[in-house]
Amino acid sequence: MKINLDKKEIWDIYPEVYHYTKFSTALLIINSGILRATRFDLLNDNQEINYSKEIIVPKLLERFKGATTEDARHDLDIFYKAMGNDLYIISFCGKDSKLDHTHHDNGLLSMWRSYGTDGGCAITFKTKNIYDQTIKYRHSIEISSALVMDEAIYEGHNDSDSEYRNRLDRFANNALDLLPNPKDIEPQRRRELYEDFLCLMICSKHPAFFEEREVRIGLCFNKGIQEIKNPSTPPPDRHEIPFSPAQDISRIIIGPHSDQKQRFDFLKSYFDKYDLNIDITMSEIPLR
Q: List Cα–Cα distances, 243 to 67, 134, 182, in angstroms.
A: 48, 9, 40
In this structure, the strands spanning 153-154 and 120-126 are unpaired
On whether residue 97 sits in a domain, the answer given is yes
Torsions phi, psi of 13, nearest 5? -75, -45
pLDDT band of residue 93 (cuts 50, 70, 90) is very high
Nearest one of 15, 228, 54 to 141, comparing CA atoms: 228
Looking at the domain assignment, is residue 153 inside a domain? yes
Percent of all residues in the chain with a pLDDT value above 70, rounded to a whole number: 88
Residue 287 is assigned to a structural domain of this protein: no
* pLDDT of 2: 39
Tell me the average pLDDT of the chain.
Answer: 85
Number of domains in the chain: 1
Would 29 be classed as within a structural domain?
yes
CB of 78 within 8 A of CB of 175? no
Quick one: pLDDT at residue 270? 93
Mean pLDDT of all residues in 237-246: 95
**Residue 80, in any domain of the structure:** yes
- Position 185 confidence tier, pLDDT thresholds 50, 70, 90: low
Domain encompassing residue 238: 10-282
**Residue 178 placed within a domain:** yes
Q: Can you tell me the mean pLDDT for 235-258?
A: 94
Give tens-digit pLDDT for 102-159: 888 899 998 999 888 888 999 999 999 999 999 999 989 877 778 889 999 999 999 9
Taking only Cα atoms into account, the Rg of the chain, rounded to an integer number of angstroms, comes to 20
Residue 93 located in a structural domain: yes
Amino acid at site 247 = Q
Helix or strand (DSSP H, E) at 137: helix 127-141
pTM score: 0.86
- The helix-helix angle for 187-203 and 47-63 (nearest 10°) equals 130
Is 3 a member of any domain?
no
Compute the CA torsion angle 242, 243, 245, 251 (nearest 10 deg): -120
pLDDT at res. 12: 95
